[in-house]
């Protein structure tokens, strides 16, 4: 491990390093933004599932025929 | 085959009677050439510049024709009639592309002399045969892509926008090849007798691939 | 569409992706030698080129999925095509931005015309930016899927042609400054590039699967809602560019 660290080039903080860092950071940020958007969508799916669950139970508690139909599907 | 011919005849007859699209295209091309004189602030151009200017004028004028290609079919039920008839659906593609090709030929018959008059440097030897060959292939690219794109665009809401928006990037390789092929033959000095084979070959390849592709996918655009 | 699940295998795929990308990053900064000409700036190559290549392949992949839709009429294919193109566009924009940064670092300009990959890439990106507006402008979902598939196939075939044309156009004008993949690279760089390439490809596959799983879940939810509650085709969001 120490050998690896010893052979690692010291990161030039001058001109070149900034650009390389910028390129990799941009890509990283794009992927992160995408993950965040997907997280929001996952939340929405969960909320919709909840809503569906509540609606089904409400419909089931409603009429006899409704509960029969949805009962056979579950 | 006869179905394609029938549709083509109808389009040509319509255009002869109402004369809307073609005069507009010609005028547009000629005015573009004039505008280039002012934009570039030059009296004469030659070589690659001349080729570039002419190809762009041709492109913009063709966009006008492309936008109008299927409008009549859509508005007056031509699509329904065509679909009901027991004909090969590729006939519509053939007919429309041929119509556009013919329009472009007529356009060039007027635009090339206009270009020579207004902007092209005099005394260029004999570029005309080479230029005709290049333009023949370019027209094919414009026709095939134009018909395909117009077929896509006619059923959308933003009809006039979608056509050029999709068509222009698709046409870039053809335009590169076309301008690069025409460039050397429009040079004032050391102009070769024939356009460079590499670019003519690229243009021909592009035409072939997209003609086959358009023929393969066009049916799906016509389904209701 | 009944039992297709995209979540299966997603966990191992994403772990594999993390492994390869981490390995690639380590190799880029600790193992690959410094380029003689460009120095440290050349390291951008290891992220820019894989992004570009994967993006272009993604567009072609989207075209292939679209062929599947036109042949079977099953909207699942259209969904796959849409996500593939969407993902490839995101990767492509990443490739463009990293390419621009590289250009600025190497030559001082944010854009250069003498690099054919960048230029042909720009054209492809411009083209596929029209995909979503096209979809959005067609209301009927079946027609939307069909036209989008035609677009995807046409433009998928366009990608290699475009690359050829632009490479031809720029090759003989300026010497190729950025040496690309293949035999030109010393082995250490080659291995690093390969690892990075695999990592980015796996990232694309992972994100594609991820988005497919989310979209599939959502569409199954709507279908379930319709079946259980007997509601009509509910479209709370009005027109949409994405296949539902």
**pLDDT tens-place string over residues A5-55:** 444 455 555 677 888 888 899 999 999 999 999 999 999 999 988 988 888
pLDDT in tens, chain C (244 residues): 455 677 788 889 999 999 999 999 998 888 888 877 777 888 888 899 899 999 999 999 999 999 999 999 888 899 999 999 999 999 999 999 998 898 888 878 888 777 777 788 888 999 999 998 889 888 888 889 999 999 999 999 889 888 777 777 765 444 444 444 444 667 888 888 999 999 999 999 999 999 999 998 888 888 888 888 776 655 555 566 777 6
Q: Is residue C237 part of a domain?
A: no
Q: Is residue C103 part of a domain?
A: yes
Among chain B residues, the shortest Cα distance to C128 is held by B166
Q: Is residue C95 part of a domain?
A: yes
First-to-last C-alpha distance (Å) of chain C:
12
Q: Is residue C91 part of a domain?
A: yes
Q: Is residue C10 part of a domain?
A: no
Q: Please give, rounded to a whole number of angstroms, the shortest distance from the CA of C106 to a CA of chain A.
A: 9
pLDDT in tens, chain B (224 residues): 788 888 888 888 888 888 888 899 999 999 999 999 899 988 888 888 899 999 999 999 999 888 888 887 777 777 777 777 777 878 888 999 999 999 999 999 999 999 988 888 777 777 888 889 999 999 999 999 999 999 888 888 877 888 899 999 999 889 989 999 999 888 877 778 788 888 899 899 999 999 999 998 888 888 76
pLDDT, position B91: 86
Q: Is residue C2 part of a domain?
A: no
pLDDT, position A6: 47
pLDDT, position C171: 57
Q: Please give, rounded to a whole number of angstroms, the shortest distance from the CA of A42 to a CA of chain C.
A: 7
Say whether B217 and C162 touch across the interface (CB within 8 A). Answer: no
pLDDT, position C179: 47
Say whether A52 and C93 touch across the interface (CB within 8 A). Answer: no
List Cβ<8 Å contacts ≥24 apart for C168-177: C168/B198, C168/B199, C168/B202, C169/B176, C169/B180, C169/C116, C170/C113, C170/C114, C170/C115, C170/C116, C170/C119, C171/C116, C173/C114, C174/C114, C177/C106, C177/C114, C177/C115
Number of domains within chain C: 1
pLDDT, position B103: 93
- C215's CB contacts (< 8 A; 6+ apart) are C79, C83, C242, C243
C chain contacts of residue B166, beta-carbon cutoff 8 Å: 127, 130, 134, 151
Residues in C 40-69 with any Cβ partner in A closer than 8 A? 40-41, 43-44, 47-48, 51
Domain span holding position C108? 44-226
pLDDT, position B99: 92
Say whether A19 and C218 touch across the interface (CB within 8 A). Answer: no
Residues in B 142-171 with any Cβ partner in C closer than 8 A? 148, 152, 155-158, 162, 165-166, 169-170
Q: Sketch the domain layout of chain B as residue ranges.
A: 2-222
Sort B115 into a burial class: Cβ within 10 Å, 0-12 / 13-18 / 19+. Answer: buried
Q: Which residue has the tokens 């505008």?
A: B35
Say whether B155 and C138 touch across the interface (CB within 8 A). Answer: yes
Model confidence over B67-109: pLDDT tens digits? 888 887 777 777 777 777 777 878 888 999 999 999 999 999 9
ipTM confidence score: 0.79
Say whether C150 and B209 touch across the interface (CB within 8 A). Answer: no
Mean predicted lDDT score pLDDT of chain B = 87
Q: Is residue C116 part of a domain?
A: yes
């Amino acid at each position: 491990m120490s050998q690896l660290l010893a052979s690692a080039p010291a990161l030039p903080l001058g001109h070149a390093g900034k650009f390389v860092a910028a390129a990799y950071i941009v890509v990283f940020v794009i992927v992160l933004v995408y993950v965040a958007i997907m997280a929001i969508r996952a939340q929405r799916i969960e909320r919709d599932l909840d809503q569906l669950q509540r609606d089904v139970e409400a419909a089931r508690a409603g009429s006899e025929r409704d509960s029969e139909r949805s009962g056979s599907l579950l | 085959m006869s179905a394609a011919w029938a549709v083509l005849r109808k389009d040509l007859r319509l255009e002869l009677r109402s004369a809307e699209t073609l005069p507009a295209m010609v005028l547009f091309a000629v005015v573009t050439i004039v505008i280039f004189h002012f934009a570039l602030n030059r009296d004469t151009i030659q070589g690659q510049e001349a080729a570039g200017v002419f190809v762009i004028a041709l492109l913009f004028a063709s966009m006008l024709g492309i936008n109008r290609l299927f409008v009549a079919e859509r508005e007056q039920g031509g699509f329904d009639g065509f679909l009901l008839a027991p004909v090969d659906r590729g006939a519509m593609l053939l007919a429309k592309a041929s119509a556009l090709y013919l329009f472009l030929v007529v356009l060039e018959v007027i635009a090339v002399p206009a270009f020579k008059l207004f902007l092209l440097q005099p005394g260029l030897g004999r570029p005309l045969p080479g230029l005709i060959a290049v333009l023949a292939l370019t027209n094919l690219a414009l026709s095939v892509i134009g018909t395909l794109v117009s077929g896509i665009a006619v059923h959308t809401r933003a009809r006039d926008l979608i056509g050029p928006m999709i068509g222009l990037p698709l046409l870039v390789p053809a335009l590169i090849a076309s301008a690069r092929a025409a460039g050397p033959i429009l040079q004032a000095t050391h102009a070769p007798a024939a356009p460079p084979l590499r670019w003519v070959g690229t243009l021909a390849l592009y035409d072939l691939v997209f003609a086959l592709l358009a023929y393969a996918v066009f049916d799906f655009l016509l389904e209701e | 569409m009944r039992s297709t699940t995209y979540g299966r295998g997603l966990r191992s795929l994403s772990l594999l992706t993390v492994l390869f990308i981490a390995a690639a990053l380590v190799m880029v900064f600790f193992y690959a030698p410094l380029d003689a000409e460009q120095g440290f700036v050349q390291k951008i190559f290891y992220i820019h080129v894989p992004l570009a290549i994967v993006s272009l392949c993604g567009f072609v992949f989207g075209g292939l999925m679209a062929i599947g839709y036109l042949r079977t009429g099953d909207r699942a294919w259209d969904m796959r095509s849409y996500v593939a193109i969407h993902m490839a566009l995101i990767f492509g924009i990443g490739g463009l931005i990293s390419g621009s940064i590289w250009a600025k670092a190497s030559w001082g300009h944010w854009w250069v015309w003498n690099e054919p990959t960048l230029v042909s890439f720009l054209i492809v990106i411009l083209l596929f930016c029209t995909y979503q507006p096209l979809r959005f402008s067609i209301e009927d979902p079946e027609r939307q899927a069909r036209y989008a598939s035609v677009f995807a196939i046409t433009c998928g075939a366009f990608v290699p042609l475009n690359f050829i044309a632009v490479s031809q156009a720029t090759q003989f004008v300026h010497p190729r400054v950025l040496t690309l993949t293949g035999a030109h690279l010393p082995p250490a760089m080659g291995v690093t590039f390969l690892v990075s390439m695999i990592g980015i490809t796996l990232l694309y596959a992972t994100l594609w699967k991820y988005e497919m799983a989310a979209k599939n879940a959502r569409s199954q939810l709507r279908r379930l809602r319709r079946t259980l509650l007997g509601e009509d085709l509910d479209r709370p969001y009005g027109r949409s560019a994405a296949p539902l």
